[in-house]
């Protein structure tokens, strides 16, 4: 009953005859309802791992099962559909569209659907998601009229609107002061308590104890805490 299963995932980059092993034989299973935090220093492979989990990049070798389905066997169209439906992304930089209001930003992932929901269904879903992040009064605002922390909460609502299987979070608090960062982390904790599966990567260890499981990535491999202690 795993949402995500990575089996022996390797990722190599080749740049001007220099080869980097960004990920080395990564094995990872994420259970439904889990809140996993992956931390590690710059360059350890966090972005690479998140790109693979988010189906934005393919591994050099190994297998990725999402809800039991081998991602490599999906066609491009099917892969795009699965990514849009099953994966919610949250980025450090929010990635909201400044020209449209909060409602339309949150509704956007629904408009890429083959079977686009009715306007009434869209309205209901957007209102449900904005309430989950505590910003119901801001639906008609534009992103630039909101604080950084509020913008990040809007981006969380947008990530939730398709009922994804997992939220992938990349340094969610990286651009926020600590008070807004705390508010955003509280949203993740609440969502997880209501059953949302989360995988968050960060080099910021401050918020790691919000997670139900913590892994450390160093030079493309997971380290057990015990091994790290011995290495220091």
Q: Which one of residues 3, 26, 28, 45 is an interface residue with ligand ADP (CB under 6 A)? A: 45
d(CA 222, CA 137) in angstroms, rounded, equals 42
Half-sphere exposure of 1 (CA within 13 A, CB side): 5
CB of 20 vs ligand ADP, minimal distance in Å = 5
Contact region with ligand ADP (CB under 6 A), list: 45-53, 71-79, 95-103, 190-198? 45-53
3-state helix, strand, coil in the chain (%, to 5): 40, 30, 30
Q: Which one of residues 25, 29, 47, 214 is an interface residue with ligand ADP (CB under 6 A)? A: 47
CB of 6 vs ligand ADP, minimal distance in Å = 15
CB of 217 vs ligand ADP, minimal distance in Å = 7
- Binding residue count for ligand ADP, defined by CB under 6 A: 12
CB 122 within 8 A of CB 103: no
CB of 145 vs ligand ADP, minimal distance in Å = 26
Q: Which one of residues 4, 6, 38, 44 is an interface residue with ligand ADP (CB under 6 A)? A: 44
13 forms part of the interface with ligand ADP (CB under 6 A): yes
Which residues inside 122-181 make contact with ligand ADP, applying CB under 6 A? none
CB of 9 vs ligand ADP, minimal distance in Å = 12
Tokens standing for 170? 């990349």
**Helix extents (H) in 133-214:** 148-160, 178-193
Nearest Cα neighbor of 199 from 217, 181, 220, 176 is 217
d(CA 39, CA 170) in angstroms, rounded, equals 11
216 forms part of the interface with ligand ADP (CB under 6 A): no
| 3-state class (DSSP) for residue 188 | helix
Task: Enumerate binding residues for ligand ADP (CB under 6 A).
Answer: 13, 15, 20, 22, 40, 42-48
């Amino acid at each position: 009953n795993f949402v995500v299963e990575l089996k022996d995932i390797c990722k190599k980059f080749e740049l001007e005859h220099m080869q980097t092993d960004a990920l080395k034989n990564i094995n990872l299973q994420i259970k439904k309802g889990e809140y996993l935090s992956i931390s590690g220093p710059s360059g350890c492979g966090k972005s690479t791992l998140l790109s693979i989990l988010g189906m934005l990049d393919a591994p050099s070798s190994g297998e990725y099962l999402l809800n039991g389905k081998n991602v490599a066997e999906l066609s491009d169209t099917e892969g795009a559909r699965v990514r849009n439906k099953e994966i919610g992304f949250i980025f450090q930089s929010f990635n909201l569209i400044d020209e449209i209001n909060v409602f339309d930003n949150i509704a956007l992932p629904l408009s890429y659907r083959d079977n686009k929901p009715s306007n009434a269904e869209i309205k209901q879903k957007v209102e449900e998601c904005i309430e989950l992040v505590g910003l119901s009064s801001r639906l008609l605002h534009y992103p630039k009229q909101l604080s950084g922390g509020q913008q990040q909460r809007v981006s969380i609502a947008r990530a939730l609107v398709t009922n994804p299987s997992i939220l992938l979070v990349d340094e969610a608090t990286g651009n926020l002061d600590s008070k807004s960062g705390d508010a955003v982390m509280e949203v993740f904790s609440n969502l997880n308590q209501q059953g949302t599966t989360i995988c968050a990567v960060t080099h910021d260890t401050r918020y790691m104890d919000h997670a139900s499981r913590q892994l450390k990535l160093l030079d493309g491999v997971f380290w057990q805490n015990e091994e790290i202690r011995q290495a220091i």
